[in-house]
Structure 1
Amino acid sequence: MIEQAKSVIRPMTIEDIEAVVKVEEDSFATPWEPAIFMNELHVNKFAHYCVCDVDGDVVGYCGSWVIGEDAQITNIAVHTSSRGQKRGEHLLIHAMDHARKLGALNMSLEVRVSNQVAQQLYKKFGFKPGGIRKNYYTDNQEDAMVMWVKLNEKE
C-alpha cells in the first residue's frame, strides 16, 4: 500500500508566491504574475488565499474574495503532479468554510465550459450552473460557465 503524504491547508504568505506561480504556470495558459499575488495579499482587503502544503512544498492554492454576503473564487489550482489526491477538494472546502465564517451566504466561480473535471468537483459541493460568460478566457476566447452555491444550505 502506498501512503499519501498528508496535506495541510494554511494561509498563503509572501514566501509562498514563487511556488504558487509555479502551480499557476503548470495549470493555466495565462498565469498570474507574482505582482498580482502580492497585491492580493497586501492591498486587496477582500482577498483571502490559502495553500495546500505537502511536507513543506506548496502543491496547490485557492483564492477568494469575500464582500459582504457574497464570495467569489478567483482561482483554484493544484499542480499536475498532485492531482487526483483530493487536494483541490480540500482547498475548496477550506475556501467555502472560510467564506461562511466571514458571513458570506453565496459563492460563485467561473470555470471553462470544457473543464468537466472541475465542474464535477464543484457540483459535488452544491455548485449549480448559473450562466455563461462569452469569450471569457483570453487565451482562446473559450466561454466560462458561472456556477453558484448557497453556503448556508445543505446539499
Structure 2
Amino acid sequence: MAEFSIREMSSEDIKQVMKVDVASFTTPWTYEIYEQEVNHNKHAHYFVIEESENIIGYVGLWIVEEDAQITNIALLPQFRGYKIGEKLFGFAMQYAIQQGANRLSLEVRVSNIVAQKLYIKFGLVPGGIRKGYYPDNGEDALVMWVNLH
C-alpha cells in the first residue's frame, strides 16, 4: 500500500480539496467558505491527507473550549474502503485530544451507514436527530458524539 501523510491544510490546498468535495458531496462548499475556515476562523482546524503529494482527502474540525466538532471529512471515491478514512478520523480525534477537547461530535446522514460504522469503531454513539438537516434532499442527520477522556 502507498504511503500517506497528513498535514495542515493551507490556502494553496483549497482547489484540490474542492475536487474531493465535489466528488463526495451533493452540496460542496465554495472556495470562499474554505478560505474563511482556513485563514480567518480561529476555531477551525483543517488537515489534508496526501499520497505522493496529491491530496486524496481532508478533515476539518472546530474546537471551542472543551468541545470539538467534525465539520467535514471526505476521501476521493477511489481511495475509500482501504481504511484511509480510519487513519484520517483517528488523526482528527488525537488532534482534538491534544488541543484539550473533552468531547467530539459530528453530524452524519442517517442513510450513511458506512460512515456511522466507522464512527462507532471510534466510540461515538448516537445522540439525537437533526430533522431536515441536509439542504439537498432534506435528509435527517444523526448526531454522534464521544467523550474523549
Map 1:87-126 to 2 at 5 A. Answer: 87-126=84-123
* Map of 1:51 onto structure 2: 48
Q: Is the 8 A contact 1:70 1:105 kept in 2?
A: yes
Paired letter, 2:30: E
Residue correspondences, number: 149
Q: Give the Cα separation in 2 of the matches to 1:11 and 1:87.
A: 17
Any idea what the Cα deviations from partners look like across 1:38-61, whole Å, max 9, x if unmatched?
A: 100111000000011100100000
The TM-score, its normalising length taken from structure 2, stands at 0.98
* Map of 1:151 onto structure 2: 148
Aligned equivalent of 2:61, options 41, 48, 64: 64
Structure 1 moving runs of 4+ over 4 Å: none
Q: Give the Cα separation in 2 of the matches to 1:19 and 1:86.
A: 21
Any idea what the Cα deviations from partners look like across 1:91-148, whole Å, max 9, x if unmatched?
A: 1111111111111000000000000000000000000000000000000000000000
The TM-score, its normalising length taken from structure 1, stands at 0.95
Q: Is the 8 A contact 2:11 2:39 kept in 1?
A: no
* Map of 1:83 onto structure 2: 80
* Map of 2:129 onto structure 1: 132
Structure 2 residues without counterparts, runs of 5 or longer: none
Please give the secondary structure, in 2, of the residue aligned with 1:62: strand
Q: Give the Cα separation in 1 of the matches to 2:32 and 2:121.
A: 33
In angstroms, what is the RMSD of aligned CA positions?
A: 0.6
